[in-house]
Amino acid sequence: MTPTLETKDLTKFVRDIPDFPKKGIAFKDITPLLKDPGAFRSAIDAFAARYEGRGIRLVAGIESRGFLLASAVALRLGAGVIPIRKKGKLPHKTLSASYDLEYGTDSVEIHADAAARGDKVLLIDDVIATGGTARAACELIEKLGAEVAGVAFLIELSFLKGREKLGSREIFALIGY
Ligand code: AMP
């Protein structure tokens, strides 16, 4: 087995791409972390260690990099995995929630039968920036009557204060900038 890395060393596997997808954005590219077996396992281990034993029944991933993390964490927790997707991508009956962008709004959707009252759901995404996407995703889970038992990210861009949008929900990030 590949040796596990310290969480602090994971920053070495995150690459900054300036001006992507548009000018002025420093994009945090996690593909080096995903392709390194030790780094990927360390990240998944850290999430699993934090949430195991907490009765998590479902792990929700936000499209699309959130899916890669959510499914691995779900397997480790013995939980199921549910997708939260951009508008128009889910085939069955959906609920949607919108959030503000710099210009205009966007929305995310969840299947109406993805979770039910009493389910404890862990929400995962790669990056929290302004927090709008994660807040909309939490609202969807809660509209289904389920409980957001935690919100976890690989990376938090703290200077954007996204966690303030998530209110009293429990937030965890492996790497902060
Ligand atoms: P926000 O709603 O502003 O918190 O944006 C979060 C969503 O946008 C996540 O799904 C991220 O994958 C993506 N995102 C926002 N900013 C960045 C960034 N600087 N680098 C990589 N992904 C980002």
Q: Look up tokens 């509209």; give the residue.
A: 143
Quote the pLDDT of residue 102. Answer: 78
Structurally, at CATH architecture level, domain 54-176 sits in: 3-Layer(aba) Sandwich (3.40)
pLDDT in tens, 11-59: 999 999 999 999 999 999 999 999 999 999 999 999 999 999 999 999 9
3-state secondary structure of 30: coil
128: CA distance to ligand 1 center in Å? Answer: 6
pLDDT in tens, 70-114: 999 999 999 999 999 999 999 999 999 999 987 889 999 999 999
Quote the pLDDT of residue 3. Answer: 57
Contact (Cβ atoms closer than 8 angstroms) between residue 153 and residue 173:
yes
Collect all residues with Cβ–Cβ distance below 8 Å to 165 and sequence separation of at least 6.
130, 131, 132, 134, 135
Q: Of all protein residues, whose CA lies closest to atom 11 belonging to ligand 1?
A: 127
For residues 51 and 39, give the distance between their C-alpha atoms in angstroms, rounded to a whole number.
19
Q: Is 76 annotated in the active site?
A: no
3-state secondary structure of 137: helix
* Two tokens, residue 38: 């030790």
pLDDT in tens, 116-163: 999 999 999 999 999 999 999 999 999 999 999 999 999 999 999 999
Q: Of all protein residues, whose CA lies closest to atom 19 belonging to ligand 1?
A: 27
Candidates 15, 33, 133, 166: which one to mutate for ligand 1, based on the most atoms within 8 Å of Cβ?
Answer: 133
Contact (Cβ atoms closer than 8 angstroms) between residue 131 and residue 163:
yes
pTM for this model (two decimals): 0.96
